[in-house]
């Protein structure tokens, strides 16, 4: 009987621990988190985007040994402040770096607050060029093809596969989590088109996605800029939407 109770208790603890992964945490009326692994969360922020109304946008938080990297901010400084204070006060992590996927507001609309907090921002040099053109806050450090970062000994790869949703869009690969944050260049499975491509390159779009698919065949968790995350099927789906599967 005693062994049975111990086994039941362990099963219950295991169930509770498992439930913490993929659970949704409501930070505020406009921000929620979904825990993807012991070290990573999708942050989903809701904001008014001119021409589109209220839009939910995805970003990523990666935490290791008490420090965190933030990939994409919510669309404005106020929401970004709410998110970062939650990371610090509730997740007990110090945000030490920031990376935008591209120059649009749903990726770096909170960069002014990031800079106010003296958090270092890394970006594609093309993103920095666009920030200057559009009189936006400018990230600190530029890279061209790729950049390797480290968070407490865990690798982070920033990679530019080419133009797609925008001419400057990058992806983030975290090998320890087998996680690919691709932002708006990838579409969720319920998307029926490529969405906003006004600042992108439709001719190069399929070639960029092919390079992405070839570069990260081991990706298990794939996160788009909007909509539900999934697996590598998001890459194939996006390629289908470009009309080019060859």
Q: Is 165 a catalytic residue?
A: yes
Round the average pLDDT of the chain to a whole number and report it.
91
Q: What is the pLDDT of residue 20?
A: 56
Whether residue 107 lies in the annotated active site:
no
Asked if 223 contacts 229 with a C-beta cutoff of 8 angstroms, the reply is yes
Per-residue pLDDT band for 11 (boundaries 50, 70, 90) equals: very low
Decide if 41 is inside a domain.
yes
Torsion 71-122-241-174 (CA) sign: negative
Of 30, 72, 77, 106, which one is the catalytic site residue? 106
Mean pLDDT of 206-212: 97
Asked if residue 16 belongs to a domain, the reply is no
Q: How far apart are the first and last CA of the chain?
A: 61
The answer to whether residues 56 and 225 touch, using CB atoms and an 8 Å cutoff, is no
Looking at the domain assignment, is residue 147 inside a domain? Answer: yes
Catalytic residue among 43, 101, 169, 184: 184
**Catalytic option among 64, 101, 102, 210:** 102
**Nearest-angstrom CA–CA distance, 174 and 219:** 9
The answer to whether 201 and 167 are in contact (CB under 8 A) is: yes
Who wins on pLDDT, 40 or 50? 40
Number of Cβ atoms within 10 Å of the Cβ of 24: 10
Distance CA 44, CA 229 (A): 11
Residue 46 a catalytic site member? no
Vertex 149 angle, CA 230 and 231, to 5°:
10
As a whole number of angstroms, the distance between CA 241 and CA 191 comes to 9
**What is the domain count for the chain?**
1
Give a yes or no: residue 1 inside a domain.
no
Q: Which of 178, 196, 199, 201 is catalytic?
A: 196
- 142 assigned to some structural domain: yes
Q: What is the pLDDT of residues 101-137, one digit of tens each?
A: 999 999 999 999 999 999 999 999 999 999 999 999 9
Active site residue 90: no
pLDDT at 15 over 60: no
The tokens 């990031």 sit on which residue? Answer: 114
- Does residue 149 belong to any structural domain of this protein? yes
pTM of the model as a whole: 0.89
104 classed as catalytic = yes
Give the CATH number of the domain where residue 180 resides. Answer: 3.60.15.10
Q: Count CA within 13 A, CB hemisphere, residue 72.
A: 31
- Note the pLDDT tens digit of each residue in 83-105: 999 999 999 999 999 999 999 99
110 part of a folded domain: yes
Q: What per-residue string of b and e applies to 200-227 under the rule 16 or more CB within 10 Å gives b? A: bbeebbbbbbbbbbebbeebebbbbbbb
Domain that holds residue 189: 22-241
Judge whether 168 lies within some domain.
yes
Catalytic residue among 30, 39, 43, 104: 104
Closest CA to 68 of 117, 22, 139: 117
| Residue 26 bears catalytic tag | no
Q: Residue 188's closest CA among 55, 68, 20, 98?
A: 55
Of 58, 64, 165, 169, the active-site residue reads 165
């Amino acid at each position: 009987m005693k062994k049975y109770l111990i086994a039941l208790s362990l099963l219950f603890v295991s169930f509770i621990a498992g439930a913490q992964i993929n659970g949704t945490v409501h930070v505020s009326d406009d921000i929620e988190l979904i825990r993807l692994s012991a070290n990573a969360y999708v942050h989903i922020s809701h904001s008014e985007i001119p021409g589109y109304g209220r839009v939910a946008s995805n970003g990523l938080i990666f935490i290791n040994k008490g420090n965190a990297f933030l990939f994409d901010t919510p669309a404005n400084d106020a929401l970004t402040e709410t998110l970062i204070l939650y990371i610090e006060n509730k997740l007990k992590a110090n945000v030490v770096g920031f990376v935008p996927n591209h120059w649009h507001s749903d990726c770096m609309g909170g960069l002014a607050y990031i800079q106010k907090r003296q958090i270092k921002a890394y970006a594609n040099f093309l993103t920095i060029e666009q920030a200057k053109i559009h009189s936006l806050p400018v990230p600190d450090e530029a890279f061209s093809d790729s950049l390797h970062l480290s968070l407490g000994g865990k690798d982070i790869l920033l990679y530019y596969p080419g133009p797609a949703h925008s001419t400057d869009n990058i992806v983030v690969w975290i090998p320890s989590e087998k996680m690919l944050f691709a932002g708006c260049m990838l579409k969720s499975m319920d998307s029926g088109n490529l969405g906003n491509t006004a600042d992108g390159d439709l001719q190069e779009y399929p070639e960029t996605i092919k390079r992405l698919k070839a570069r990260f065949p081991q990706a298990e968790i794939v996160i788009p800029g909007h909509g539900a995350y999934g697996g590598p099927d998001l890459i194939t789906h996006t390629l289908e939407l470009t009309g080019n599967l060859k």
